[in-house]
Amino acid sequence: MNLISKQAQLINSKVHEMDEMSQYPVELTGNDVPMVRFMNVTKKYGDLTVLDSLNLDIQKGEMVSVIGPSGSGKTTVLRMLMTLEQINGGVIYVDGKPLTHMEKNGVLVPASPGYVRTVKGEIGMCFQHFNLFPHMTALQNCIEAPVHVLKMSKKDAIERAEEMLEMVGLAEKMDQHPIRLSGGQQQRVAIARALCMRPKVMLLDEVTSALDPEVIGEVTNVIKKLVSEHDLTMLMVTHQMGFARDISDRICFFYDGKIEEQGVPKALFDNPQRERTQQFLSAVKSAD
């Protein structure tokens, strides 16, 4: 009896789930399709809800910075977009196409790994600890994915990698292994490596947090150059308020798994509306 009722419950929840999925469009269309859209995205670790039905749009070419206290779920947003974390509810769209789901008979179903690979090719990511491949030189790091994923010829891939390494100012270091590069240089190689895949969306996860203070500037300068010269959509998690203020189009303040407040940098930093934003900003300011 108990088993039967459990089965019924399971079927009910499945039906309910399918009903729920029908509210999400299988594709975003129109003139102003956002580059990235989070729709009711929920993330849980066991009983702990890290993100509670997040709704966030990032327009094409927009630079959005995510700030907030640790544990507020800001890094999780990036990791979900890079498919490093599974989501527990909602749908993420990238350039109009669902990332976490795929269409089947007019309804969205959880995506197959092959489908995810086609969509996430639009996204590039840089990490706090660089995560360069230590057994490859800077150049080999940069051509690895273009050669094996985009199936470019080695010659073309090297040409592109040299161009990118030149842009981050490391052309003369391209035959060095990561262990021989400073933290700032490693992070710049990591940025070049991500750019070699020509992503439309670039995710920067606390890229300066693991760096010595004196080399932070060389990385932030590269990012500033990216923002001004390239038509990239960027989502950045950072603890450097001044830097975020300088280059962002919009700031999102995360607190307890929700967007507590968001707006243009000037408004949010100079005139925060919510109490928690005020507390956080004043705490950061007094730490400086």
Q: Which residue, 26 or 142, has its beta carbon nearer to other proteins? A: 142
DSSP reduced 3-state for 53:
strand
d(CA 26, CA 28): 7
User: Which range, of 10-18, 119-127, 166-174, 262-270, touches other proteins by CB under 8 A?
Assistant: 119-127
Extended beta strands in the chain, E state? 36-45, 48-58, 63-67, 89-94, 97-98, 101-104, 107-110, 123-126, 201-205, 233-237, 250-255, 258-263
Measured CA to CA in angstroms, residue 45 lies from 22, 52, 85, 118 at distances of: 26, 12, 10, 27
d(CA 183, CA 211): 6
Q: Is 179 in the site for other proteins (CB under 8 A)?
A: yes
Q: Is 151 in the site for other proteins (CB under 8 A)?
A: no
Q: What are phi and psi of 278, to 5 degrees?
A: -60, -45
Strands 233-237 and 201-205: parallel
User: Which range, of 10-18, 20-28, 33-41, 176-184, touches other proteins by CB under 8 A?
Assistant: 176-184
User: Which range, of 51-59, 159-167, 175-183, 280-288, touches other proteins by CB under 8 A?
Assistant: 175-183
Give the nearest distance from C-beta 80 to other proteins in angstroms: 12
Q: What would the x/- binding string for other proteins be over residues 82 to 101, using CB under 8 A?
A: xxx-----------------
Q: Is 163 in the site for other proteins (CB under 8 A)?
A: no
Q: Is 133 in the site for other proteins (CB under 8 A)?
A: yes
d(CA 234, CA 270): 23
Q: What would the x/- binding string for other proteins be over residues 32 to 71, using CB under 8 A?
A: ----------------------------------------
Q: Is 154 in the site for other proteins (CB under 8 A)?
A: no
Give the nearest distance from C-beta 153 to other proteins in angstroms: 17
Measured CA to CA in angstroms, residue 192 lies from 54, 131, 154, 188 at distances of: 31, 13, 17, 6
Residue of 11, 15, 107, 149 that binds other proteins (CB under 8 A):
149
Q: Is 125 in the site for other proteins (CB under 8 A)?
A: yes
Q: Which residue, 129 or 200, has its beta carbon nearer to other proteins? A: 129
Q: Which residue, 125 or 259, has its beta carbon nearer to other proteins? A: 125
Which residues does 158 contact at the CB level (< 8 Å), separation at least 6?
139, 143
How many chain residues touch other proteins (CB under 8 A)?
Answer: 28
Using the 8-state DSSP alphabet, how is residue 111 labeled? Answer: P
Measured CA to CA in angstroms, residue 229 lies from 94, 218, 246, 278 at distances of: 22, 16, 15, 33
Q: Which residue, 116 or 171, has its beta carbon nearer to other proteins? A: 116
Give the nearest distance from C-beta 152 to other proteins in angstroms: 13
Side chain identity, residue 243: F
On whether the CB atoms of residues 182 and 138 are closer than 8 A, the answer is no
Give the nearest distance from C-beta 129 to other proteins in angstroms: 6
Q: Which residues lie near other proteins (CB under 8 A)?
A: 82-84, 117, 120-121, 123-125, 127, 129, 131-137, 144-145, 148-149, 177, 179-180, 193-194, 197
